[in-house]
Chain A
Amino acid sequence: MARAVTNRRKLIVTVAAWAVGIAIFFPILWTVILSFKSEGDAIKTPLEVLSSAWTFESYATVQERSNYVRHFWNSVVISLGSTLLGLIIAIPAAWAMAFVPGKQTKNVLMWMLSTKMLPPVGVLVPIYLIFRDVGLLDTKTGLVIVLTLINLPIIVWMLYTYFKEIPGEILEAARMDGASLRNELIHVLTPMAVPGIASTVLLNIILAWNEAFWTLNLTAAKAAPLTAFIASYSSPEGLFYAKLSAASTMAIAPILIMGWFSQKQLVRGLTFGAVK
């Protein structure tokens, strides 16, 4: 920026920006603080909360009482599983559309996107009944399948926009040197595509981890990931703020960290390349 910025102006903007940033982040910060308090202290007035003793007891209780680790593991399996399965299906498709575009490529891409616009509640009943009949209700396999399918259009689109940016000449050079289609894919394209694939993976793990329509409707106690497990805190008995905070902190921490690394890709992935 060429314009000279006075320090005074910069100071004012700094104060305003930090104030807004902290205000927006505050609910998360407060949850983390409460997770290190005892149940009795967690419901006191803010000043009393801050001056009370710090403790890890809620983290221990959450695990003991509800087998937290299992739900966490379910979330890991479901989000990683659906992302990997999605990649396996999407990489060849995106590769083909980016490097061997045909007349229909654009239509296929747009059609894939249109499946994403289908409101989930519109197909809730049939999916629920099919899952009930084939025994997929409350299984990790069932959720992996559903989340793979709902995120597949985003995976294909993101990979497609990244693959488009790989210069075609490199592939042609490889072809001239006699590389087979398979070798071209493995030795030339894949290394160049790794950054794009990595961002796609990151965004999709985030989306799958936080998905809260299908996970709530298709699971009960057994396969429930964290989204559904945390929902069970909506009708609690007695004091539970500290435990809710501890469970929540553990549920959002990994994704928050991943999300911060994928800010840029987030824009691109969620706007289907419309904003870069």
Chain B
Amino acid sequence: MATKASRAAARVMISPAVLLLLGWMIVPLALTLYFSFLRYNLLMPGMEEFTGWDNYSYFLSDPAFTAALTNTLLLVGGVLLITTVGGVLLGLLLDQPFWGQGIVRILVIAPFFVMPTVSALVWKNMFMNPVNGLFAHAFKALGLAPYDFLSQAPLLSIIGIVSWQWLPFATLILLTALQSLDQDQLEAAEMDGASALSRFWYIMLPHLARSITVVILIQTIFLLSVFAEILVTTNGGPGTASTNLTYLIYMQSLLQFDVGMGSAGGVVAIILANIVAIFLMRMIGKNLEA
């Protein structure tokens, strides 16, 4: 069907997108890699020199790195757990017939459209603030001492905020998947006397497995790069209690001006993200063939 001429035209049409993305990928990546082997601090211009693996050994042996890696894993894992379990439950609830489905759906997905800096600041001030926050008012009304969420449980508080932002995404996708489930199959199982729990376990959950995987993989890509929520709530503190890898690298590069060390961190972050990306790409690739 495709002629030689249309092939050539197709190549011309694709090339701007490919070349731009190639440039966007190769140039900064090569520079990051190059900087990561230099002693390079913006405060000492002209002093750059090759240092081999020094930046990597400093970065990887820094206790802040271990803390940041742990925090990153806890943040990603915690949010994934809350949003997928919550998303399945909410999906099941919203999949039932009820009055006002359209409106409730709109309410549930709304947090996803709120910009990260707004949702973080709203939670920080209007809810978690130990003096004027709604939680503080609630604690006082119950006769309890107010709790300073962001300084006493910073990471957990951030997990809560980020989960609020991502729960709608998981819910929306899992609800979409549930709606494509064959109702006859469920009815047949019900007639055969299968309990609600076993219908969920043996019919719905296997049907959802693919979508759950997609939710987990895509969220992981975004969650590895959580930044704004940390910047405006805790600045990574107290200490390194809520510093994730992205935030640590940001601090080293743009606050301490240590380009070499920041770049070494960047390479580490890229490697970690790639491990997840490989699985995600396989899933999507399979779908492309189907």
Verify if A141 is at the interface (C-beta below 8 Å from B). no
Which residues of chain B have a CB within 8 Å of any CB of chain A?
A: 1-2, 6-7, 9-11, 13-14, 16-18, 20-21, 24-25, 27-29, 31-32, 35, 90, 93-94, 96-101, 103-119, 121-127, 131-132, 134, 137, 141, 164, 167-169, 172-173, 176-177, 183, 187, 190, 210-211, 214, 218, 221, 224-225, 227-228, 231-233, 245-246, 249-250, 253-254, 259, 262-263, 265-267, 269-270, 272-274, 276-277, 280-281, 283-285, 287-289
List residues of chain A with CB within 8 A of the CB of B259: 125, 129
List residues of chain A with CB within 8 A of the CB of B267: 122
Write the nearest CB–CB distance from B166 to chain A, whole angstroms: 11
Write the nearest CB–CB distance from B124 to chain A, whole angstroms: 8
A sample of 17 cross-chain residue pairs with beta-carbon separation below 8 angstroms, ordered by A number, consists of A20-B93, A24-B110, A25-B108, A96-B10, A96-B11, A117-B273, A119-B266, A121-B245, A121-B250, A123-B28, A123-B32, A125-B259, A152-B21, A153-B21, A248-B118, A260-B106, A276-B176
Chain A residues touching B, majority SS: helix
**Given A227-B117, A230-B121, A234-B233, does the pair A89, B17 have CB atoms closer than 8 Å?**
yes
Whether B27 pairs with A126 at a CB distance below 8 angstroms is yes
Q: Which 4 A-B pairs have the closest CB atoms?
A: A92-B13, A126-B31, A96-B10, A117-B277
Whether B125 pairs with A244 at a CB distance below 8 angstroms is yes
Of B90, B121, B221, B273, the most chain A CB neighbours within 10 A belong to B121
Complex interface bits, A95-139 against B, C-beta within 8 A gives 1, otherwise 0? 111011110001011101111111111111111111000000000
Which of A28-36, A55-63, A193-201 binds B? A28-36
Cα A144 to Cα B20 in complex, Å, equals 14
Write the nearest CB–CB distance from A226 to chain B, whole angstroms: 7
Complex interface bits, A1-30 against B, C-beta within 8 A gives 1, otherwise 0? 111010000100110111011101101101
Chain A contributes a number of interface residues (CB within 8 A of B) equal to 99
Which chain B residue has the least Cβ–Cβ distance from A27? B122
Whether B280 pairs with A241 at a CB distance below 8 angstroms is no
Verify if A72 is at the interface (C-beta below 8 Å from B). no
Chain B residues touching A, majority SS: helix
Whether B14 pairs with A108 at a CB distance below 8 angstroms is yes
Write the nearest CB–CB distance from A165 to chain B, whole angstroms: 14
Which residues of chain A have a CB within 8 Å of any CB of chain B?
A: 1-3, 5, 10, 13-14, 16-18, 20-22, 24-25, 27-28, 30-31, 34, 43, 45-46, 89-90, 92-93, 95-97, 99-102, 106, 108-110, 112-130, 149, 152-153, 156, 168, 172, 181, 206, 209-210, 212-213, 216-217, 226-228, 230-231, 233-234, 241, 244-245, 248, 251-252, 255-256, 258-260, 263, 266-267, 270-276
